[in-house]
Chains A and B, each alone.
Chain A
Amino acid sequence: MNKTITIDGKIVPFTDGQTIMDAALGAQVYIPHLCHNPEFKPHGSCKLCVVSVNGRNMTSCTMPAAEDMVVANNTPELNDDRKVLVQMLFVEGNHICPACEASGNCQLQAAAYYLNMLSPHFTHFYPPREVDASHPDVFLDLNRCILCELCVRASREVDGKNVFGISGRGIHAHLVVNAASGRLGDTNLVVTDRAAHVCPTGAILIKRQGYRIPIGQRTFDRKKISEVQMESTEEGKPDHE
């Protein structure tokens, strides 16, 4: 327990087997992340958590901490790269926040605010993706899916089901529903499943719950994502859910 790394000059203790992200979360050091949720195994897809370790860029959610690592995290260069990654996610989907029920509670949006994204910068893909409203209690809007696989992991690991998967290659990679029909309504997902609540964006939404929280009182109206995600680890809770 007396092994340490430094992150932005701060001495951070770790135990063997912990990743840089684990150590950072434990020490209340915020490293931006979207696909990581301490409740689940690391995924490594969003790349927001990339830090510079002894001069090399690495994903902190998958990189095991090792004695005397010198980690740079909150630097203008890394935050600029992170902003570009978030911009790529925005143009890859159809993120029309003013019409999205997740607005104000969405981690993608909150990360973009944190990184001071003023525009998505790149050419929009406007992908023709589906909305699946077949389930009585849960919506699936793939226009907002960032392929973090948190729903996939939650369904398998917590719910003991296998409702979601990822299929396709390259830009065609997309979330699929494991039913012969491909429809959420034909799975055994129920509204109380962890998978129905773990989505960091507005891709999985509970029906008849939208727009309940007044503007000004939503999660990220009041606090930055850095503060919210540090608080939730303090309380031992995985995220703002």
Chain B
Amino acid sequence: MNEKRKIRVATCSLAGCFGCHMSLLDIDEKLFDLLEMIEFDRTPFTDIKHCGACDIGIVEGGVSNAENAHVLKEFRDNCKILVAIGACAINGNVPALRNNIDLWDCFQEVYLYEGGLEGNQIPNDPELPLPFDKVYPVYEVVKVDYFLPGCPPSADTIWKFLTDLIEGREPKLSYEMLRYD
């Protein structure tokens, strides 16, 4: 391990809740072991703004707006292995419950009709990414190499998966580790 180049890992949250990242942090003191083996590129844990060349990209959350799609494409273009982590990245999950509600209805409900709003208007600054009509699983937008289900996957599951991947083994989850909820 000493002489070897460290594995470079990027992570991001698209239409996620950061729960998968929290579950990654739940490996607790094993984070020190992890940082012996990897170094982070762009992730919410670092200040790097764009994903550079990486060995592993980990994506939490589905794709619900234009910015999500741009970030996801940057990850796909730069990461040798792309991993969809958590139920949102895998099937849209709870955010995809909006897929059967008209987007305009959602916006009106939240920004126009909701009580207590002053000068109600639907935000339309070009700074803001436009939402998509639906929330899409990551694999319906780019090719995904591995899936790690769970909402979120447990810390033990993430640890097992990551160490398998980092050490060049095909990731394998036990029955207890495979959960969708």
Q: Compute how far the CA of A109 lies from the CA of B139 in the bound complex, rounded to whole angstroms.
A: 20
Contact A96 B100 (CB under 8 A): no
Q: Compute how far the CA of A97 lies from the CA of B93 in the bound complex, rounded to whole angstroms.
A: 8
Q: Does B77 contact A (CB under 8 A)?
A: no
Q: Does A59 contact B (CB under 8 A)?
A: no
Contact B94 A99 (CB under 8 A): yes
B84's closest neighbor in chain A, by CB?
A: A119
Which of A10-18, A40-48, A123-131 lies at the interface? A123-131
A120's closest neighbor in chain B, by CB?
A: B91
Central interface residue in A100, A113, A126, A224, by most chain B CB within 10 Å: A126
Q: Does A104 contact B (CB under 8 A)?
A: yes
Minimal beta-carbon separation of B162 from chain A (angstroms): 15
A-B contact count (CB 8 A): 68
Q: Compute how far the CA of A98 lies from the CA of B97 in the bound complex, rounded to whole angstroms.
A: 12
Taking CB atoms, residues of chain A closer than 8 Å to B134 are 126
Which of B6-14, B40-48, B122-130, B173-181 lies at the interface? B173-181
- Binary per-residue interface labels of chain B (139-155) against chain A in the complex, 1 for a CB within 8 Å, 0 otherwise: 11000101111010000
Q: Compute how far the CA of A215 lies from the CA of B151 in the bound complex, rounded to whole angstroms.
A: 13
Minimal beta-carbon separation of A161 from chain B (angstroms): 31
Taking CB atoms, residues of chain A closer than 8 Å to B148 are 118
Q: Does A94 contact B (CB under 8 A)?
A: yes
Q: Compute how far the CA of A121 lies from the CA of B149 in the bound complex, rounded to whole angstroms.
A: 12
Q: Does B99 contact A (CB under 8 A)?
A: yes
Q: Compute how far the CA of A56 lies from the CA of B179 in the bound complex, rounded to whole angstroms.
A: 34
Contact B100 A120 (CB under 8 A): no
Taking CB atoms, residues of chain A closer than 8 Å to B151 are 97-98
Partner among A91, A97, A127, A224 whose Cβ is within 8 Å of the Cβ of B180: A97
- Binary per-residue interface labels of chain A (107-147) against chain B in the complex, 1 for a CB within 8 Å, 0 otherwise: 00100110010111101101110000000000000000000
Interface SS of chain A: loop
- A99-B97 contact, Cβ under 8 Å, with A109-B180, A118-B147: yes
Q: Does B92 contact A (CB under 8 A)?
A: yes
Q: Size range of the interface on B?
A: 20 to 34
Q: Size range of the interface on A?
A: 20 to 34
- A103-B181 contact, Cβ under 8 Å, with A97-B151, A124-B137: yes
- Binary per-residue interface labels of chain B (152-167) against chain A in the complex, 1 for a CB within 8 Å, 0 otherwise: 0000000000000000
Minimal beta-carbon separation of A202 from chain B (angstroms): 11
Q: Compute how far the CA of A126 lies from the CA of B99 in the bound complex, rounded to whole angstroms.
A: 7
Taking CB atoms, residues of chain A closer than 8 Å to B84 are 119
Q: Compute how far the CA of A90 lies from the CA of B91 in the bound complex, rounded to whole angstroms.
A: 9
Q: Does A95 contact B (CB under 8 A)?
A: yes
Contact A96 B178 (CB under 8 A): no
Taking CB atoms, residues of chain B closer than 8 Å to A90 are 91
Taking CB atoms, residues of chain A closer than 8 Å to B72 are none
Show 25 A/B contacts (Cβ-Cβ < 8 Å), sorted by A.
A94-B96, A94-B97, A94-B99, A96-B94, A96-B96, A98-B87, A98-B94, A98-B151, A98-B180, A112-B180, A116-B173, A116-B178, A118-B147, A118-B149, A118-B178, A119-B144, A121-B139, A124-B91, A124-B92, A124-B96, A126-B99, A126-B100, A127-B100, A128-B100, A224-B175
- Residues in chain A within 8 A of chain B (CB atoms): 90-91, 94-100, 103-104, 109, 112-113, 116, 118-121, 123-124, 126-128, 215, 224
Besides A90-B91, A100-B181, A112-B180, 11 new A-B residue pairs in contact (Cβ under 8 A), listed by A number = A96-B87, A96-B93, A97-B180, A98-B93, A98-B94, A118-B147, A119-B84, A120-B90, A126-B99, A215-B181, A224-B175
Instruction: Please provide the 3 A-B residue pairs with the shortest distance between their CB atoms, ordered closest to farther.
Output: A98-B151, A97-B180, A119-B147
